[in-house]
Amino acid sequence: MLESKHLQKTYTWKPVFRPGVSVLAVRDVSLQIRAGETVGLVGESGCGKSTLARCLAGLEQPSDGGVFYHGEEISRLSLREARVLRKRIQYIFQNPVNALNPYRTVAQLIAEPLQHFRVGNQKTRMAAVQRLLDMVELPIDDMDKYPAELSRGECQRVNIARALILEPEIIICDEVISALDVSIGVQILHLLKTLQRKQGYGFLFISHDISRVIQISDWIAVMYMGLLMEWAPAAGFHAEALHPYSQVLLQAVPSLIPGEFVDHPSTAVEIPDPVFPQHGCPFHTRCPYATDVCRREVPAFRSVGQHTVRCHHAEAVR
């Protein structure tokens, strides 16, 4: 299990001749990703999803709080233990083409993590490449091709194969279908879910598309301005979301009727600047239920039924 506890990440920009400004990219986020389960992380662009994911993958150090893998805080691991961890948690990025070195063949790209970690020899690595090509449903003939000879969807399959070759436990998929055509994205999701059923991977699936995330997740985590606003089972989330921001995201989902788009009036309001966070609940400038206490106090993250929610008035909203 991979989990964050009260994770905080601040970036400070220091322009020349001007005082530095800080962005609180992630604030007090605690969540768990278990083997065999998918956590869907949603929220608008800039809310801190990738920053949280990079901290969970050990690619960045949290400013405060911690990341724990099977109970061990990863910043306290020895170099040897950290090396093992880098095999067990893999990250797949949004842009499938940029993530691949254009001068290497598909076989070299897929075998690269094995070489990096000095696993096996040339013969066993090539056998592993063939096995992985089969798993991600690419033909063996693609082994000698270069990324430029592949479609974007095929490139993403190569990235998935690279992520799987070290037999990870947790895979972080950061907007992995956002740069793909809808039908190709659906095929990639289907592939990931099939692999999860067979191999028991735990997924953190990040997307700004809440309807897609609900379909494939066991748990939904909704983020806004660096804070986790709601954590709940994905089943029934459409009807049972408690946080006003979750409801806005759900109402902004395109209608199934062609030409019709359902949007909540409050989404039109400008999103607050993360460099200058205001007092109280960060959503109060957009929230139809906001009262004085919302403008004054950051709500606690608390249980309401099966949901954990950061809202002073969650019971009334329901």
Ligand X SMILES: Nc1ncnc2c1ncn2[C@@H]1O[C@H](COP(=O)(O)OP(=O)(O)O)[C@@H](O)[C@H]1O
Burial (Cβ within 10 Å: 0-12, 13-18, ≥19) of residue 67: buried
Q: Which is nearer to Mg ion, 91 or 237 (by Cβ)?
A: 91
Q: Which is nearer to ligand X, 23 or 106 (by Cβ)?
A: 23
First CA to last CA distance, the chain: 32
61: tokens are: 């150090």
Interacting residue with Mg ion among 4, 50, 196, 247 (CB under 5 A): 50
| CB 220 within 8 Å of CB 40 | yes
Confirm or reject binding of residue 284 to ligand SF4 (CB under 6 A). yes
Rounded distance between C-alpha atoms, residue 274 and residue 47, angstroms: 9
CB of 223 vs ligand X, minimal distance in Å: 7
Rounded distance between C-alpha atoms, residue 273 and residue 190, angstroms: 37
Point out the residue whose Cβ comes nearest to Mg ion: 50
Rounded distance between C-alpha atoms, residue 302 and residue 194, angstroms: 34
Interacting residue with ligand SF4 among 283, 292, 296, 307 (CB under 6 A): 283
Confirm or reject binding of residue 27 to ligand X (CB under 6 A). no
Name which of ligand X, Mg ion, ligand SF4, none residue 311 binds, using a CB cut-off of 5 to 8 Å depending on partner kind: ligand SF4
CB of 48 vs ligand X, minimal distance in Å: 4
Interacting residue with ligand SF4 among 107, 290, 307, 308 (CB under 6 A): 290
Show the DSSP H helices in the chain as ranges.
49-56, 79-88, 106-116, 122-135, 152-164, 182-199, 210-216, 237-240, 244-251, 292-296, 314-317
- The values of phi and psi at residue 262, to 5°, are -95, 125
CB of 159 vs Mg ion, minimal distance in Å: 16
Rounded distance between C-alpha atoms, residue 190 and residue 184, angstroms: 10
Rounded distance between C-alpha atoms, residue 173 and residue 93, angstroms: 7
Name which of ligand X, Mg ion, ligand SF4, none residue 214 binds, using a CB cut-off of 5 to 8 Å depending on partner kind: none
Name which of ligand X, Mg ion, ligand SF4, none residue 65 binds, using a CB cut-off of 5 to 8 Å depending on partner kind: none
Q: Give the x/- contact pattern for ligand X in 47-86, rule: CB under 6 A.
A: xxxxx-----------------------------------
Confirm or reject binding of residue 282 to ligand X (CB under 6 A). no
Rounded distance between C-alpha atoms, residue 224 and residue 28, angstroms: 12
Of the candidate spans 75-83, 191-199, 209-217, 279-287, the one that interacts with ligand SF4 by CB under 6 A turns out to be 279-287
CB of 274 vs ligand X, minimal distance in Å: 5
CB of 269 vs ligand SF4, minimal distance in Å: 12
Type and span of the H or E element at 226 = none
Residue tagged 């979301």 (tokens): 241
Confirm or reject binding of residue 48 to ligand SF4 (CB under 6 A). no
Q: Which is nearer to ligand X, 44 or 240 (by Cβ)?
A: 44
Q: Which amino acid is at 163?
A: A
Question: Applying CB under 6 A, which residues contact ligand X?
Answer: 11, 23, 25, 43, 45-51, 274
Residues near Mg ion (CB under 5 A): 50
Binding positions for ligand SF4, rule: CB under 6 A:
244, 281, 283-284, 287, 289-290, 294, 299, 311-313
